[in-house]
Chains A and B, each alone.
Chain A
């Protein structure tokens, strides 16, 4: 299977291990990721809020980049890149005037016929649990995890098409297929504070705190994420949350692709498991999943 790959800006810096583990896992599953190297930033939440035309045109430019290539499916690991790309295509379908303005700005015609996928749903539905289970070499037995989906991949339902945005299960199903013990919890799609981490750090400590506390209360060994911003916020702000609570939280925040890779027998270093602030390697060694 061949698909266009849209990693996005963060996967070139703070989210490198998400990018690396995605590529490793897709290779193992026989999914060929074709990266168009001329993609641009989607404008993120700043662009979405500050300027509708610029934000839609940035995604319009990306749509044009991917339309020029052969695969009609685009996969984006970053939930914001995914949602913006999918919603820009839909907004232009509904609003021909906006589409006209965007096409003028980007000097390209858009057909609007791409299938845009987030990575979780792509692996769960397009690749499928059977294909995933068939690659299993080292089941993640004894690893207790809580899956954290964050916002942009699932919400709002009208934009993402997610059937159950308050209680999504696609990542749960993948993790179960890997042999992990998936714990029930209430914070699957609660917001981490996203880009407010620089400008309103206190708010992000408050929001990530609720998530970390609940995961610890449920007895999770790790929080599993599918977003580099969720990863960075939960990983980086955990120390501040601990200071507030006068206890030390040591909850590794790992990408679901890293756990897939591990269960497929891929070396931990190739998956970037050594690059997180709260070290997942020690935990995985203790559980007998590494080494």
Chain B
């Protein structure tokens, strides 16, 4: 396939993704083993093979709006099967950071919202309060009764406790400091 033939800005995009992810996408054979094994590849979600093609063609907008890296749960199947050992979740991180810097609206707002709420919880308490995150997500997406029956059943079984939804606990200064320093480093407001 033809690589790195675009305008300077497009070349710049490809090389930045390669540099920031530390993954040599130029070695990609486009064999498709990654997308074949990818749990989130579907008709709607293109999968890693197509995402790499977008990056190598310098299709910046398309790559930064590709739902694949939003859906990616970092299962590692693609890297395990890749003949040139490309780590796609490292590519997902590079694209996520780039999209945020450039203010590109998340193509998968629900996944973005959940991940944002999760990290806010970590930043605030030092440990994730996943049940509280789940409830905030359902409220923010206006589906307050989603998984309510399962939640009630889990409480009845003692798998979770009502306290899990309430308790926040103290904040952890060490973790708050990691977030504020990293934000400052990235040139944003803490």
* A199 within 8 Å of B (CB atoms): yes
22 contacts between A and B (CB under 8 A): A9-B128, A40-B127, A49-B115, A50-B97, A52-B93, A52-B97, A58-B122, A61-B178, A151-B73, A152-B74, A156-B76, A156-B78, A156-B79, A157-B80, A191-B39, A193-B39, A195-B73, A195-B114, A196-B71, A196-B111, A199-B137, A239-B150
Sort chain B's interface into a size bin.
35 or more
- Any chain A CB within 8 A of the CB of B32? no
Indicate if B110 sits at the interface (CB-CB under 8 A). yes
Tell me whether A106 and B174 are in contact in the complex, defined as CB-CB below 8 angstroms, given that A45-B73, A157-B80, A194-B73 are known contacts: yes
Minimum distance in angstroms from A198 CB to a CB of chain B: 5
B residues engaging A (CB < 8 A)? 22, 39-40, 69, 71-80, 85, 87, 89, 92-93, 96-97, 100, 108, 110-111, 113-116, 118-119, 122, 126-131, 133-134, 137-138, 146-147, 150, 153-154, 157-161, 164, 172, 174-175, 177-179, 181-182, 185-186
If A41-B122, A151-B77 are given as contacts, then 19 extra A-B residue pairs at C-beta distance below 8 Å, sorted by A number, are: A16-B160, A40-B122, A43-B119, A47-B118, A50-B119, A58-B175, A61-B175, A105-B181, A151-B73, A152-B76, A156-B77, A191-B75, A191-B77, A194-B73, A196-B40, A199-B108, A203-B40, A275-B158, A276-B157
Q: How far is the CB of B187 from chain A (nearest CB, A)?
A: 12
- Residue A48, interface by CB 8 Å: yes
User: Are A14 and B97 interface neighbours, CB within 8 A?
Assistant: no
Q: Are the CB atoms of B76 and A46 closer together than 8 Å?
A: no
Alpha-carbon distance between A74 and B122 when the two chains are bound, in angstroms: 22
Shortest CB-to-CB span from A57 to chain B, Å, is 5
Q: Known contacts A13-B164, A193-B73; is A277 also within 8 Å of B153 by CB?
A: yes
> Are B178 and A54 touching (Cβ within 8 A)?
yes
CB <8 Å contact, B137 and A14:
no
B134 and A198 contacting across the interface, CB-CB below 8 Å: yes
Of the stretches A23-31, A116-124, A158-166, the one at the interface is A158-166
Convert A59-91 into 0s and 1s, putting 1 for each residue whose CB lies closer than 8 angstroms to a CB of B. 001000000000000000000000000000000
Which residue of the partner chain B has the closest CB to A14? B160
Indicate if A53 sits at the interface (CB-CB under 8 A): yes
Q: Which residues of B contact A165 (CB under 8 A)?
A: 76, 80
Known: A54-B178, A105-B177. A274 touches B157 (CB 8 A): yes
A158 to B78, CA, bound (A): 12
Q: Which of B76, B77, B119, B154 contacts A159 (CB 8 A)?
A: B76
Minimum C-beta distance from B136 to chain A (A) = 10
Contact in complex: B74, A45 (CB < 8 Å): yes
Cβ-closest chain B residue relative to A10? B130
- The 0/1 profile, CB within 8 Å of B marked 1, for residues 89-104 of chain A is 0000001000001001
**A143 within 8 Å of B by Cβ?**
no
